[in-house]
Amino acid sequence: MTSTDDQQSSSNKMNPTALHPAYSVSNIQSKIRTLDGTTVTYSSWVKLFKFHAIAYCVLNHIDTTPPPVTTDSKYLAWKELDILVSQWIYNTVSDDLLTRILDTEATARNTWLKLERIFLSNKKAKAVALETKFVNLTLSACSSVDDYCKQLKDLANQLTDVDQPISESRLVLQLV
């Protein structure tokens, strides 16, 4: 059991009818930006999501903690929270990603791992494709200098996600 689980568990022992903190989240999209893999990179989204999972005592639904057995009296409460966390994931990914991960039978952990595989598998191939885009991006292909800078920075962030970070000096050289 994690320390956040301990805190939640101890607060529920003092007040067993207390509502779990996760139920107080009414609009997760206002807290976690939509993961699209371009503007919001996978690594940024994961950090934001984990911050909220910790704050609302549901990290155990996306980390390695196994669910309780279905015959356990705590299973129904766990399942409700797990579905809520799954909804958070579904509500904070782009429509393209949603169609790839949506599964009504999956746990939040399974959905989390599916997203991880989408973004972290084939890193080398993705890095080569992104590097090619980065090197070949020209100012004439963009609508403005601001757009050019933004696209370069987005590509640099995506390269960081596949373990091929672009240094600031290289970014400046490419810009020039």
- The DSSP element (H or E) to which 156 belongs, if any, is helix 145-161
For the chain, how many structural domains are there in total? 2
pLDDT at res. 16: 58
| Pair (92, 134) in one structural domain | no
Are 72 and 12 members of one domain? yes
Nearest to 89 by CA among 25, 161, 28: 28
Question: Do residues 93 and 130 share a domain?
Answer: no
Q: Are residues 110 and 137 in the same domain?
A: no
Last residue of a domain, one of 120, 138, 158: 120
Domain boundary among the residues 120, 144, 165 is at 120
Q: Alpha-carbon Rg of the chain, whole angstroms? A: 20
Residues of the chain with pLDDT under 70: 1-17
- Do 91 and 25 have their domain in common? yes
What pLDDT, on the 0 to 100 scale, is given for residue 92?
97
Closest CA to 89 of 68, 70, 61, 65: 61
Domain enclosing residue 10, as ranges: 3-120
Round to whole Å and give the CA distance between 114 and 134: 27
Instruction: Tell me which of 120, 149, 164 is where a domain ends.
Output: 120
Residue 71 and residue 34 in one domain: yes
**Cβ distance 101 to 90 under 8 Å?**
yes
Under a CB-based contact definition with an 8 Å cutoff, are residues 50 and 32 in contact? Answer: no
pTM here is 0.72
Same domain, yes or no: 168 and 113 = no
Q: Are residues 71 and 145 in the same domain?
A: no
pLDDT score for 4: 45
